[in-house]
Amino acid sequence: MPTSLSISDRQHAKVLTILVLAYLAGIIGLQVPHLATYFRPLSPITLVASLAVLLAYHTDWKPAFYVYIFLAIATGYFIEVLGVQTGLIFGQYAYGSGLGFKLWSVPPVIGINWLTLSYCCGSLCNRLRIPTFLKVVLAATLMVGLDFFIEPVAVQLDFWTWFGQPVPLRNYVGWWLVSFALLSIWFALPFRKDNRMAGWLLLLQFFFFLFHGLIFRLNG
């Protein structure tokens, strides 16, 4: 069974610096035409690497945590498969080539993204001294807030497409409901939720999509 790494403040500073530089490189590389060809295939690798860093900081590898890893990845992936195939969950959309290999029209890495985001939002909101139900509500709302910044950038980067239509309200409602279900499980399972990297990683994701969105608007 994995154990959490003993990460000193100096090591933490180095890891955080590398992450910041990696995300900054992603912003620049995906915006410069001559570099974009090389950086686009790195998007799914970045998602996997981000999760690996997050898990390296996890402090409690109980069986319950393995349960959550499985449930979050499986739920996130198969809900997307259902959504793409039926249009009933998030609306009519389809995945492009930006997130790599697809199985049943959905890149498996999207399940990893659901795990990473729910972990980060859950860990961050767990610090609040409020009832658990409110933590779940706030964490799910935080995930939808991030998706608001993700959507326009994802279309530009060919992660997925809404076929030229505005992002439907159903997408955000669906995101919130799925997030609420996952985070209810997250808070119910008996493992420690503290992770000193979770807040930083979530902040980097916000800035990554915020800056990309601003650049696309200025260039559009």
In the block, residue with structure tokens 């992936």: 77
Does 63 fall in a domain? yes
pLDDT of residue 33: 84
Is 80 exceeded by the pLDDT of residue 5?
A: no
The packing angle between helices 63-86 and 169-188, to 10°, is 160
CA-to-CA dists, residue 12 to 26, 40, 115, 172, angstroms: 21, 28, 22, 34
Instruction: Give the chain's domain count.
Output: 1
Q: What is the dihedral of CA 75, 208, 213, 215, to 10 degrees?
A: -150
Confidence band, pLDDT 50/70/90 cuts, at residue 103:
very high
Does 180 fall in a domain? yes
Contact 156, 213 (CB under 8 A): no
Is 80 exceeded by the pLDDT of residue 110?
A: yes
pTM of the model: 0.92
Does 183 fall in a domain? yes
Q: Which of 37-46, 59-68, 179-188 shows the lowest per-residue confidence on average (mean pLDDT)?
A: 37-46
pLDDT of residue 109: 97
pLDDT of residue 32: 86
Does 3 fall in a domain? no
pLDDT of residue 111: 97
Instruction: Tell me the backbone φ, ψ of residue 18, rounded to 5 degrees.
Output: -65, -40
Does 2 fall in a domain? no
pLDDT of residue 220: 64
Is 50 exceeded by the pLDDT of residue 1?
A: no
Confidence band, pLDDT 50/70/90 cuts, at residue 52:
very high
User: Considering the chain, what percentage of its residues have pLDDT values greater than 90?
Assistant: 79
Does 18 fall in a domain? yes
Reduce the secondary structure of 30-94 to three states and give it as a string. Answer: HHCHHHHHHHHHHHHHHHHHHHHHHHHCCCCCCHHHHHHHHHHHHHHHHHHHHHHHHCCCCCCCE
Give the separation between CA 130 and CA 51, rounded to whole angstroms. Answer: 27
In the block, residue with structure tokens 């998030």: 90
Mean pLDDT of 129-141: 97
Look up residue 201 and give its two tokens.
């990683």
Domain, as residue range, for 18:
9-219
Confidence band, pLDDT 50/70/90 cuts, at residue 128:
very high
